[in-house]
Amino acid sequence: MSNIEIKKNKELDCNIVEFTNANFKLVSGSVLENFKIAFKTFGSLNQSKSNAILICHALTGDQYVSGHNPITERDGWWSRMVGPDKPIDTNKFFVICSNVLGGCSGSTGPKEKKDNKDIIHGGSFPSITIQDMVSAQVKLIDVLKIDKLFSVVGGSMGAMQALQWSVDFPNRIRTIIHIAGALKHSAQNIAFHEVGRQAIMSDPNWHKGNYDEEKSIPERGLSVARMIAHITYLSEDAMHRKFGRKLQSRDIISFGFDADFQIESYLRYQGRSFVERFDANSYLYLTRAMDYFDHSETYRKTLEFINNDNDDINYLVISFTSDWLFPTRENKEIVETLNNLSRNVSFLEIETDKGHDSFLLDEPDLDIAMKGFLESNYRNTHE
């Protein structure tokens, strides 16, 4: 018999909702008999349950959107954005952030144990799509007895989830904030992901994903994958401004393969520290989910099918001038489709040299736009 239970997890400092005998059917056709979603909430749900915002995290994010992250021992990844009196104001809004299906911070994913067994999924974990992540989130929202989310907010892979919400569950959201995403993952983005995956899968410690059984970790492969990805998160201008050709703690070059240049030490550090907090298999499954994301052929028809009466969503789409992973023109395709169908959409392109990662960094224009959008929509629906 199916069962749903919310448990507090002390070690992970979050809640975990466990679905037993739930037979969750994935897009691939595989079925997860049991699954769990790790999540955090911030602020209070109001009586009418009309102030809930779901924040969807990016590829390497987690449920620790704000406050203390017990895994990294650092502040949450969007502490700047989410909290009392912050742009997403937890005095006003009830913020939910869950670890995605396939992730590695407590939700069901390759590093979690198989149903009633002592071994973990590892390489036998089924393939995950963005649609599956959102289906799991809907089940969480059901458990929390929230009929309609005030907003779904996300950047990068989070933007993909937000878009998927608007397509699959348009009547369960009032607004979406879609930051630095696209209707599809481009050939170049698939290429960078593929090289990262090859780095992991060609690490002899990977063992076809079953490294846990072999008591090994494909650290070197994962580290290289992270380094590649990290280059794509920055812009060339930002890299030039921050590092240029500056040397690392040496006046002269070493004529060797040590990290002579600051950009090299920086990347090596990014690789090393990532390995401490992220599971290599999760990286494979989540990058694959992003690669599979593609609404480019179907978006307009899907929206037409959801007629205007059912789709009263207010959309905010944000892009960054120096983002070459999800450039403005790809974000604009979404805006143009919505405009063509007379939906309520605001679009903002933010001038910055910080690249794709801008949404995680100090960008006052982003804060102002998000705060303004959320609060004016909140007033309109609550007055």
Give the catalytic positions in this structure: 156, 323, 356
Question: Which of these ranges, 64-72, 235-243, 338-346, 375-383, lies near a second copy under the rule CB under 8 A?
Answer: 235-243
Closer CB to a second copy, 57 or 185, in the complex: 185
Q: Report the C-alpha gap between 365 and 368 in whole angstroms.
A: 5
Q: Report the C-alpha gap between 347 and 286 in whole angstroms.
A: 27
Q: Nearest distance from residue 297's CB to a second copy, in Å?
A: 10
Which single residue is written with the structure tokens 């502490």? 79
Contacting a second copy (CB under 8 A), which of 46, 80, 324, 341?
A: 324
Is 207 a binding residue for a second copy by CB under 8 A? The answer is: no
Is residue 146 a contact partner of residue 169, using CB atoms and an 8 Å limit?
Answer: no
Question: Which of these ranges, 47-55, 144-152, 242-250, 346-354, lies near a second copy under the rule CB under 8 A?
Answer: 242-250
Is 136 a binding residue for a second copy by CB under 8 A? The answer is: no
Give 209's DSSP letter.
Answer: G
Question: Which of these ranges, 53-61, 93-101, 288-296, 314-322, lies near a second copy under the rule CB under 8 A?
Answer: 288-296
Is 84 a binding residue for a second copy by CB under 8 A? The answer is: no
Judged by DSSP in three states, 217 sits in coil
Contacting a second copy (CB under 8 A), which of 227, 286, 303, 374?
A: 227
Contacting a second copy (CB under 8 A), which of 13, 192, 207, 248?
A: 192
**DSSP bridge partners of 346:** 316
Please give the span between the terminal C-alpha atoms of the chain, in angstroms, as a whole number. 44
Is residue 215 a contact partner of residue 268, using CB atoms and an 8 Å limit?
Answer: no
Q: Report the C-alpha gap between 224 and 195 in whole angstroms.
A: 9
With a CB cutoff of 8 Å and minimum separation 6, the contacts of 70 are 11, 12, 13, 64
Q: Report the C-alpha gap between 345 and 154 in whole angstroms.
A: 16
Is 258 a binding residue for a second copy by CB under 8 A? The answer is: no
Contacting a second copy (CB under 8 A), which of 54, 144, 163, 199?
A: 199
Is 354 a binding residue for a second copy by CB under 8 A? The answer is: no
Judged by DSSP in three states, 230 sits in helix
Residues that bind a second copy (CB under 8 A): 27-30, 126-127, 184-188, 190-192, 194-195, 197-199, 201-204, 220-221, 223-224, 227-228, 231, 236, 239-240, 242-245, 253, 255-257, 259-261, 263-264, 267-268, 271, 284, 288, 291-292, 294, 296, 324
